[in-house]
């Protein structure tokens, strides 16, 4: 019964052979997966690289949604890191730890999810490794090409710059809250925003081309990630009041907030994993398509460098974003 | 007491800050770890990439040896994959899954092991990710530069070529057997060969420069990996009798074989993780330094393509190498 097969029914070579044809070769792939290493073109003469790991029951649950959602999400968050340098993704590799009883169909579905997000972008799935283990782990490393752009770091924000954001805020957190509380039918779009986020990938190179002084993707929550730009740049970031800045984001969260009793403003400020692009731009630069103003960059002084303010005030205590170890 | 601290005592940012200065920046590193992605020079205009994952109690045990050994080994096996393309490693990234009670000192020691093997090679540890989990997982992705060489694939072996090997065979397997049976004081060199393998890294580019027609690193055992070259190339590989080909390897295993009752020939033929370089060379080419002849490449015909013979005969049944899923 092929639907009941688990990974322990196959040798490692058979398992690889069963899914390798599901994975796309990229437009930059020179030597595809299957040898000791892949070879990928780096026409810029540099490559960007970022890695992220997803762990069962921490970042996903096998019973929530499909393997393809997990594959999509594992790639999406890495692709966002490449975009946040101002680069375009070219290639990824993925290591999988699979308990012996993992359904083969789930693994194939995971590969389909990787392919669904990568193939339209021309990104190759150019290698991987497999091991047994007690819980599913997916470690993805993704590469990108800057196409001659200067990488946009977190450290370039200057006093007077405008803080702006492309993408959504709080929706993945709201979707997670709906799933965790059994309210997933309240808002399927929010649940999808958690299971299968669509990062603002084009906004990264667009921000670089527009002259962004700093850029990152929001993976751990707006306040926490804004703090990273503020610390790296030695500045203070002052966010506009949330109701003024992102009324559409708040409106999109209203149903989920009602169903779960949560505060939608907290989702906007601390919810991660929407993978929008958070950047700073010189005040005289028109914001590129997709970006909206979120606040301003101020010099450190009265407030210490690295602080993030909300309407000029310190935000409340409960706003530090997700932490894997303090949890 | 700092010696008793575990990773759960620190936030993710604090944990990263506690070890990031232990990790080397590479000679090719343009933007080091700490931003959304690192940027690495790829002067060749291409890069090689390979990934491997190590799982606690499958690839290592916390009670066997030090964290630095695990870090060294995680890098070593990836560096070997890059060498096996004929390339020189430039950069790696590492994702770690750490149970909350993992000693902080063990994590720092792991970073030191990564640094000990990478720093002398000019390889940067240019990024990573952390997550909690129930068992330690280390996923390393390494990159290399071909410096204008053509990548040496597994598929280029031709009938009449000489099969040759640089490095050691069977020692990591013997060291593992000593550890697993509590005989680790019988031969500390063999135990070290398992805990801290020294791949034949220079032999990879040297083989490419000498005109190797096929090349791979021996990570899963000589017979199994030779079979991969044979299948990819559509040829038969005929190994010389082990006693003739690698007498020094057999001699090095004698003490461990005596202590554990194992067959040293089986270690040579099926023991993985020594990470020597296995290559095929045209018969008129002098073998580069470090390589010794192991056999010959024959056309498929009487024997099917992909077969590996030992002195012209099929090797015994017990010689298929390690498999993570069938175990």
Residue A320 pLDDT exceeds 50: no
- CB within 8 Å: A36 and B217: yes
ipTM over 0.90: yes
In CATH, which superfamily holds the domain spanning A6-145? Answer: PurM-like, N-terminal domain (3.30.1330.10)
Interface contact flag, A135 B132, Cβ < 8 Å: no
**Cβ–Cβ below 8 Å for B325 and A47:** no
State pLDDT tens for residues A225-279: 999 999 999 999 999 988 888 899 999 999 999 999 999 999 999 999 999 999 9
Query: Per-residue pLDDT for A3 more than 80?
Result: no
* Alpha helices per DSSP H over B186-311: 188-195, 203-210, 222-233, 242-245, 247-260, 264-270
pLDDT digits (tens, 9 = 90+) for B270-289: 999 999 999 999 999 999 99
Position A325 scores a pLDDT of: 52
Residue B317 pLDDT exceeds 70: no
Q: Which residue has the higher pLDDT, B2 or B21?
A: B21
pLDDT confidence of residue B327: 35
On whether A249 is known to bind a ligand per the annotation, the reply is: no
B2-145: CATH topology is 60s Ribosomal Protein L30; Chain: A; (3.30.1330)
Which of A41, A139, A146 is nearest residue B95 as measured by Cβ atoms? A139
Q: Where in chain B is the domain with CATH 3.30.1330.10?
A: 2-145
Contacting residues for B18 by C-beta, under 8 A, at least 6 apart:
B10, B104, B108
* Residue pairs between chains A and B whose CB atoms are closer than 8 Å: 246
Quick one: average pLDDT of B4-23? 93
Residues of chain B with Cβ-Cβ distance to A137 below 8 Å are 53, 97, 133, 137, 139
A324 contacts on B by Cβ (under 8 Å): 12, 130-132
**3.90.650.10, 3.90.1150.10, 3.40.50.720, 3.40.50.2300: which CATH number matches A154-310?**
3.90.650.10
Residue B82 and residue A146: Cβ atoms within 8 Å? no
* Inter-chain touch B41–A45, beta carbons under 8 Å: yes
| Positions of CATH 3.30.1330.10 in chain A | 6-145
Residues of A with Cβ-Cβ distance to B43 under 8 angstroms:
45
**pLDDT tens digits, residue range A159-203?**
999 999 999 999 999 999 999 999 999 999 999 999 999 999 999
Q: B35 contacts in A (CB within 8 Å)?
A: 85, 151, 153-155, 216, 232
| pLDDT at residue B321 greater than cutoff 70 | no
Within chain B, all domains assigned CATH 3.90.650.10 are found at 154-310
């Amino acid at each position: 019964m092929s639907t009941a097969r688990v990974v322990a029914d196959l040798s490692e070579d058979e398992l690889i052979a069963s899914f390798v044809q599901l994975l796309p070769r990229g437009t930059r792939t020179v030597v595809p997966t299957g040898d000791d290493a892949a070879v990928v073109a780096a026409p810029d003469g540099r490559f960007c690289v970022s890695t992220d790991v997803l762990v069962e029951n921490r970042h996903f649950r096998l019973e929530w949604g499909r393997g393809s959602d997990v594959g999509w999400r594992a790639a999406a968050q890495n692709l966002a890191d490449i975009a946040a340098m101002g680069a375009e993704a070219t290639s990824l590799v993925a290591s999988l730890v699979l308990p012996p009883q993992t359904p083969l169909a789930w693994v194939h579905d995971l590969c389909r999810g990787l392919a669904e997000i990568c193939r339209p972008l021309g990104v190759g799935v150019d290698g991987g490794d497999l091991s047994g283990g007690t819980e599913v782990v997916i470690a993805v490393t993704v590469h990108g090409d800057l196409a001659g752009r200067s990488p946009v770091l977190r450290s370039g924000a200057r006093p007077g710059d405008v803080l702006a954001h492309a993408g959504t805020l709080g929706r993945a957190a709201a979707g997670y809250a709906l799933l965790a509380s059994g309210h997933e039918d309240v808002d399927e779009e929010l649940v999808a925003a958690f299971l299968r986020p669509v990062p603002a990938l084009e906004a990264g190179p667009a921000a670089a081309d527009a002259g962004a002084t700093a850029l990152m993707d929001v993976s751990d929550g707006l306040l926490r990630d804004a703090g990273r730009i503020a610390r790296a740049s030695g500045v203070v970031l002052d966010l506009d009041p949330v109701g003024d800045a992102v009324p559409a984001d708040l409106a999109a969260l209203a149903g989920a907030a009602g169903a779960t009793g949560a505060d939608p403003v907290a989702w906007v400020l601390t919810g991660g994993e929407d993978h929008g692009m958070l950047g700073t731009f010189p005040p005289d630069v028109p914001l590129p398509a997709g970006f909206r103003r979120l606040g301003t960059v101020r010099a450190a002084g009265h407030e210490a460098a690295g602080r993030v303010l909300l309407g000029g005030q310190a935000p409340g205590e409960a706003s530090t974003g997700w932490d894997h170890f303090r949890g």
